[in-house]
Structure 1
């Protein structure tokens, strides 16, 4: 199986996981009576899972490179915390589908900007008219899925 196919399948699985995360953590937030507590629990479970993978993979020594890593790369944690907190709080009130719809639109906009400018060391992929049209079609398709 080509490596690009494997990458596509892994990212498809990650995409499937986003609404699952939203629904599960929204339910946890309701159960606990606090979206913030649910988010803290989610991150504790995630830390345990990531730590286990770190140990199993033998990559613990790579953490020593953290001191020389550009500090802006650590800000991803703030974005994931914001995402989880917002979806945990909003999805039960707005609907998982609606919440994820706006997340997808935001992802398409920011991904196009990151690729166009090669931000944060990303591979440059200019926003051509064809890509812009494709993004528009995708956004329209996502919008269609939310219509009655």
Structure 2
């Protein structure tokens, strides 16, 4: 398996762990939004260290960057806040199930249309069938 696939597999493994840890922190603090803020402080520290090590000169191009690209941060904030608020009562599995379905559909649309500069990968019948099978598999795992 290529390094890129292994890296993304590890990221995928981390999403439910992130959800469980941050939901537990939010419950312990009595404030899911405080837990989310703490998560972002830790994430900012970690990513700042990576930027310092891998090349801080990239930040010099920040001023010329199209502002709509910063909306990604809003999506991350929405995800973290929603999973932190909802997971304790809805369940980690159910929450991640819904997230996975959203990711499957959104990724297919982004790839099909090449949105946001993504490499175009048309939604063929074969690909749509595969996505449907994946969605069905996710659904089957969450039936109780």
The bucket for the TM-score relative to the shorter chain is: over 0.9
Q: Secondary structure in 1 aligned to 2:112?
A: helix
Normalising by structure 2, we get a TM-score of: 0.98
Moved more, 68-77 or 100-109: 68-77
Is 1:38 aligned with 2:58?
no
Shift of 1:16: 0.3
Pick from 47, 51, 54 the counterpart of residue 48 of structure 2: 51
Count of aligned positions:
144
Counterpart position of 1:139: 135
Shift of 1:90: 0.2
Counterpart position of 2:111: 115
Question: Could you tell me how far apart the structure 1 residues matched to 2:120 and 2:53 are?
Answer: 34
Counterpart position of 2:87: 91
Shift of 1:71: 1.2
Shift of 1:55: 1.2
Give a deviation string over 1:86-132, Cα, whole Å, max 9, x none. Answer: 00000001000000000000000000000000000000001000000
Contiguous gaps of at least 5 residues in structure 1 = none
Counterpart position of 2:9: 12
RMSD: 0.8
Q: Secondary structure in 2 aligned to 1:123?
A: coil
Where has structure 1 moved over 2 Å in runs of 4 or more?
none
Normalising by structure 1, we get a TM-score of: 0.95
